[in-house]
Structure 1
């Protein structure tokens, strides 16, 4: 019984490999459930959470947070409603990840799980890295992106990752000693990566 966190450079195959690991071990793959729980606690829609995650660190995100403040929205609607910005997101994220981890047998994709659960005894922290070219090629193969779409997706993913870790007060997210296992997906095939992770936690 264990909890596995998978951090990745965007486009290194974290979701694809995470789903395979969860299926192989009979674990729950935790991704959308985090969004649903965050939305429930903040009394906002899951789409609001997704929008915050997609735009994290962008000028658009900062504009929305300031323009659509909680007070403004309450005045606009005449009633108290839920509210979520990047700071509240991080606070609630810490709570949600910690509580989910108590259930064990989980694969948690991204969202700073390697930091939130760093002191958890039965948590294994994995990082997937790859050359930028390989990450762009992965996005093109698996999501049918054009060259420009794949490049933009990788850039956006890097920006979101940097922004989240800044909110967590972390800058060392690519430092190997944080993790139990770092896999270079430019060198290791997906099926070999699957075996390495599963063997680690058995």
Structure 2
């Protein structure tokens, strides 16, 4: 029972690789599903979880502290019976990813899987990188974006990625020692990347 985590520089094709590998291997693919699982665990909306992922350094919590009255927050939480902050988010995410890994045969995209499952005996971790220009081109070709849109998306998502890993207290997320395989998508095709990843899983 194997689990694969895919980390990537935005635009390197992590989601695409996850889909092709999971289809070929018959694995479960976990990406946006993780947002819903965390939301259900914390009894909050998907949007609230997404805001935790996107906001850096607790700015969402500071906004709540200073811009919204405590009594209002208390009423909202009493009505929804749910709450999430960065600590709860990381804890819930860790529990969910660990459970999925124990069940096996799944591909987990992003969200710190390489840290959460670092010591899991049947986990393989891969990292996708690529030149910025190639990643811009990939976004244009695969997501029907104009160049300016693709460039903006890569810049914004790169910042969000850094912010997310700060919640784990990590800044070495692109270091090759964290991974079993590092793929430079500027040098190889998606088909080759799929072959190499599946070979890694099969052993």
Match of 2:120 in 1: 120
Alpha-carbon distance in structure 1 between the residues aligned to 2:71 and 2:199: 51
- Offset of residue 138 of structure 1: 0.9
Alpha-carbon distance in structure 2 between the residues aligned to 1:103 and 1:164: 25
Contact (CA 8 Å) 1:19, 1:29: kept in 2 or not? Answer: yes
What TM-score do you get using the length of structure 2 for normalisation?
0.90
Contact (CA 8 Å) 1:65, 1:85: kept in 2 or not? Answer: no
Question: Which deviates more from structure 2 when the two are superposed, residues 81-90 or residues 115-124?
Answer: 81-90
Alignment CA distance shift 1:12-1:77 (3 Å): closer
**Secondary structure at 1:20's aligned position in 2?**
helix
- Offset of residue 43 of structure 1: 0.7
Question: Which deviates more from structure 2 when the two are superposed, residues 84-93 or residues 29-38?
Answer: 84-93
Contact (CA 8 Å) 1:70, 1:83: kept in 2 or not? Answer: no
Question: Aligned pair 1:137/2:137, yes or no?
Answer: yes
Alpha-carbon distance in structure 2 between the residues aligned to 1:176 and 1:33: 27
Structure 1 consecutive aligned stretches of length 4 or more whose deviation exceeds 6 Å? none
Contact (CA 8 Å) 2:10, 2:158: kept in 1 or not? Answer: yes
Unpaired runs of 5+ residues, structure 2, are none
**Secondary structure at 2:188's aligned position in 1?**
coil
The Cα offsets for residues 46-78 of structure 1, whole Å up to 9 and x where unpaired, read as 23222332x232896455453458864223576
Count of residue correspondences: 201
- Offset of residue 23 of structure 1: 0.3
Unpaired runs of 5+ residues, structure 1, are none
Alpha-carbon distance in structure 1 between the residues aligned to 2:83 and 2:136: 35
When the two chains are superposed, the root-mean-square deviation of aligned CA atoms in Å is 2.1
What TM-score do you get using the length of structure 1 for normalisation?
0.91
The Cα offsets for residues 118-158 of structure 1, whole Å up to 9 and x where unpaired, read as 00011000000001111111111111111221111111211
**Secondary structure at 2:171's aligned position in 1?**
coil
Alignment CA distance shift 1:42-1:78 (3 Å): closer
Alpha-carbon distance in structure 2 between the residues aligned to 1:163 and 1:149: 21
